[in-house]
């Protein structure tokens, strides 16, 4: 294991220690710091990633996916909650996708109907970064 893998493993353990299994669903719910001025409320965690020079506050669901994938995410990549629960940190419920798809998914949950959006978690088909276009990504599904 290299330093980055060790770091992400330790950070993953921190996430696990501050999360609880939801009794009403299959979600793993963040029980640590929650901060936002208006809904939806997202979990936050402070960490100094190996690629950073200083400690920063990150959205916990993004960090959960980084720990699972053992890879840092590009700041431009959106991580969507397939379960529609903003406090969920279960990697199987998270998906890397274009921001526009993430926004479409929120609309789907709001109106109870989705058309044409994949629901496969990042753990099943890798991540969006590996495709050169969203159309290419759909070929993997």
Under DSSP, the state recorded for 17 is H
Domain boundaries, the chain: 3-140
Residue 126: the pLDDT is 37
According to DSSP, the β-strands at 44-47 and 28-30 are: unpaired
CB 82 within 8 A of CB 18: no
CB 15 within 8 A of CB 45: yes
CB 19 within 8 A of CB 45: no
Q: How far, rounded to the nearest angstrom, does the alpha carbon of residue 2 sit from its chain's CA centroid?
A: 23
Nearest Cα residue to 118 out of 19, 1, 128: 128
Residue 60: the pLDDT is 93
- Average pLDDT (121-127) is 39
Position 41 confidence tier, pLDDT thresholds 50, 70, 90: confident
pTM higher than 0.75, yes or no? no
């Amino acid at each position: 294991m290299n330093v980055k893998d060790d770091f992400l493993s330790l950070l993953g353990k921190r996430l696990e220690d501050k999360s609880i299994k939801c009794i009403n669903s299959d979600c793993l719910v963040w029980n640590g710091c929650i901060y936002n001025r208006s809904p939806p409320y997202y979990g936050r965690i402070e960490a100094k990633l190996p690629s950073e020079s200083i400690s920063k506050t990150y959205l916990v669901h993004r960090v959960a996916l980084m720990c699972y994938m053992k890879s840092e995410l590009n700041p431009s990549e959106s991580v969507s909650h397939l379960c529609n629960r903003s406090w969920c940190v279960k990697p199987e419920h998270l998906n890397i996708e274009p921001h526009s798809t993430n926004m479409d998914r929120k609309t789907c949950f709001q109106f109870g109907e989705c058309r044409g959006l994949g629901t496969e978690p990042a753990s099943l088909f890798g991540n969006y970064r590996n495709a050169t276009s969203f159309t290419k990504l759909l070929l993997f599904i």
